[in-house]
């Protein structure tokens, strides 16, 4: 009986060490992914990059096709070093897609300040939600289905507003998106802690998308309410 208990304790300790290793590798890769994102955004601003300018519907379709192609490739290669390279390529692409918002924000006289504020706000949300997920004894796995439903609503509303161009809907979607993706950080980090996600490349992809969407929506709101044209 004591031998079985010892084996159980050793197994539990090994599992805990493995989960902490996955979480640590996820954080390191997440930090590394910011480099190609910034590079892609900078290059996009310099090139005035845009998918099909003046045709938002076609631009959205092209973006979704490329993004889902990358995510499919990441999942297929996540067990190899190639998965890291594909993930970093994806984050470079996402940086390119961010460049139009960055350019729009920089047109404000306080644009650089708004970008830094959005970055700081996103980092704060990430730190707070990750800390809660790491230290809380509460199980947040039940959030998954509700967050997915909320995500689908956001996607449908965002696509609809490409054609409707309703400022109130844009504002509402941005606020809700910040809340949903903040909760997704909580959910995704705890998935690693509880052993629900064991691959750090997949984990990084999920948390990167959470952080990216928080930053985009927060910067959009800051531009609307804090942008100075003077």
Mind listing the pLDDT tens digit for each residue in 86-130?
999 999 999 999 999 999 999 998 989 999 999 999 999 999 999
User: What is the C-alpha to C-alpha distance for residues 224 and 230, in angstroms, rounded to an integer?
Assistant: 14
Please report, for the chain, the start and end positions of each structural domain, with discontinuous segments joined by +.
2-226
**How far is 199 from 195, CA to CA, in rounded Å?**
10
**C-alpha angle 147-148-154 in degrees, rounded to nearest 5:** 90
Q: What is the pLDDT of residue 10?
A: 47
CA 52 to chain centre: 24
**Please, are residues 122 and 211 in contact by the beta-carbon 8 Å criterion?**
yes
- Report how far residue 191's alpha carbon sits from residue 178's, in angstroms, rounded to the nearest whole number: 20
Confidence (pLDDT) at 7: 45
The answer to whether 91 and 36 are in contact (CB under 8 A) is yes
- Position 54 scores a pLDDT of 67
Residues in the chain, pLDDT under 50: 1, 5-12
Please enumerate in sequence order all residues whose Cβ is within 8 A of that of 63, keeping only pairs 6 or more positions apart, or say none: 51, 97
* pLDDT in the model for residue 106: 92
């Amino acid at each position: 009986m004591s031998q079985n208990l010892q084996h159980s304790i050793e197994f539990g300790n090994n599992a805990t060490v493995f989960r902490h290793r996955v979480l640590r590798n996820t954080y390191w890769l997440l930090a590394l992914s910011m480099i190609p994102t910034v590079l892609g955004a900078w290059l996009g601003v310099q090139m005035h990059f845009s998918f099909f300018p003046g045709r938002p519907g076609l631009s959205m379709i092209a973006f979704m096709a490329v993004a889902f192609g990358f995510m499919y490739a990441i999942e297929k290669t996540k067990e190899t070093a190639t998965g890291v390279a594909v993930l970093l390529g994806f984050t470079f692409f996402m940086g390119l897609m961010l460049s139009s918002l960055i350019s729009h924000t920089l047109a404000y006289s306080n644009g650089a300040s708004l970008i830094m504020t959005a970055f700081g706000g996103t980092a704060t949300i990430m730190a707070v939600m990750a800390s809660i997920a790491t230290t809380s004894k509460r199980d947040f796995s039940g959030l998954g289905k509700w967050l997915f439903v909320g995500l689908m609503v956001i996607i449908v509303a965002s696509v609809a507003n490409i054609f409707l161009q309703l400022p109130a809907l844009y504002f509402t979607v941005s606020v809700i998106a910040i809340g949903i993706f903040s909760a997704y950080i909580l959910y995704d980090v705890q998935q690693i802690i509880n052993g629900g996600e064991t691959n750090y490349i997949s984990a990084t992809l999920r948390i990167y998308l959470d952080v990216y969407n928080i930053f985009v929506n927060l910067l959009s709101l800051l531009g609307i309410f804090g942008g100075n044209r003077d």
